[in-house]
Amino acid sequence: MRQAIVVKGLGKRFNRYSADRPYTIMQAALAGFRQMKPQARFWALRDINFTVSPGEMLGILGKNGAGKSTLLQLVGGIGQAQEGTIEVNGRIGGLLDLGAGFHSDLTGRENVFVGAVVAGLTRREAARRFDDIVEFAELQQFIDSPMRTYSTGMQMRLAFSVAVHTDPEVLLVDEHLSVGDVAFQNKCLNRITEFKNQGCAIVLISHNAAQIHKLCDRALWLKSGEIVAYGEPEVVVGQYLSEMRPA
């Protein structure tokens, strides 16, 4: 069986700049252009290797700054790595930055069509799924209001609904299962489980170790951009919780 995601030797490097770095051409000219150069370079990810099969869910654990979101963005085609390779086979449904593609002056209805088309649907397909998208997001009363009148939670619910109605073969979920109340969270988790059962490959980032233990087939623990453990969720989650536990 062909793997849905194959990551080999992945490395991502960023530049670190001075806090006094000039932000305009005038400031740079007055202070000297040398201050615009990076003070140092650091690896946000290094030597990352894993695979995800169709119908498999990989959970990624790690503290803030461990490199989890950077890894998911690279798999989703956002940004470029300095080392290694990423192979993704299948249509990607990415919940990487919910609501980032929405326009505040457009209505919810208009944003649904824009988001669906950007995700790869035709306008006709988007129209056919429109009612299901709005019903899933539970925003029937607000769908013709401008997006700027939506709360953050409402925007995230609509973005989540658009993403999961685009028939993804690979689903990337970046810690956005806290959208809405508990009932809506459970609905999101149930939909993700349905995708998994239908053969969708899923990568899930979560601070909730119990969630990864329960939902995922394998787990990966990142620390300072490197893999600490990778394998059975029970084992990896146990190691992670043991280190997180106060001494």
Q: Note whether 119 and 163 are within 8 A (CB).
A: yes
Averaged pLDDT of the chain: 86
Q: What per-residue confidence (pLDDT) applies to 30? A: 55
Select from 79, 88, 131 the least CA-distant residue to 109. Answer: 131
The predicted-structure confidence for 158-194, as pLDDT tens digits, reads as follows: 988 888 888 889 998 886 665 557 788 888 888 888 9
- Measured in whole angstroms, the distance separating CA 1 from the mean position of its chain's CA atoms is 25
Identify the band that residue 50 occupies on the pLDDT scale cut at 50, 70 and 90: very high
Q: Which of 6-10, 161-165, 172-176, 208-212 has the highest mean pLDDT?
A: 6-10
Q: What per-residue confidence (pLDDT) applies to 17? A: 58
Q: What per-residue confidence (pLDDT) applies to 64? A: 87
Average pLDDT of the segment spanning 102-131: 92
The predicted-structure confidence for 218-231, as pLDDT tens digits, reads as follows: 999 999 999 999 99
Distances (CA, A) of 96 to 22, 71, 124, 160: 30, 11, 25, 10
User: In the 3-class helix/strand/coil scheme, how is the chain assigned residue by residue?
Assistant: CCCCEEEEEEEEEEEECCCCCCCCHHHHHHHCHHHHCCCEEEEEEEEEEEEECCCCEEEEECCCCCCHHHHHHHHCCCCCCCEEEEEECCCEEEECCCCCCCCCCCEHHHHHHHHHHHCCCCHHHHHHHHHHHHHHHCCCCCCCCEHHHCCHHHHHHHHHHHHCCCCCCEEEEECCCCCCCHHHHHHHHHHHHHHHHCCCEEEEECCCHHHHHHHCCEEEEEECCEEEEEECHHHHHHHHHHHHCCC
Average pLDDT of the segment spanning 12-18: 76
Distance between CA atoms of residues 126 and 114, nearest Å: 9
Q: Which of 148-152, 176-180, 207-211, 222-226 has the highest mean pLDDT?
A: 222-226
Average pLDDT of the segment spanning 102-112: 93
Q: What per-residue confidence (pLDDT) applies to 91? A: 84
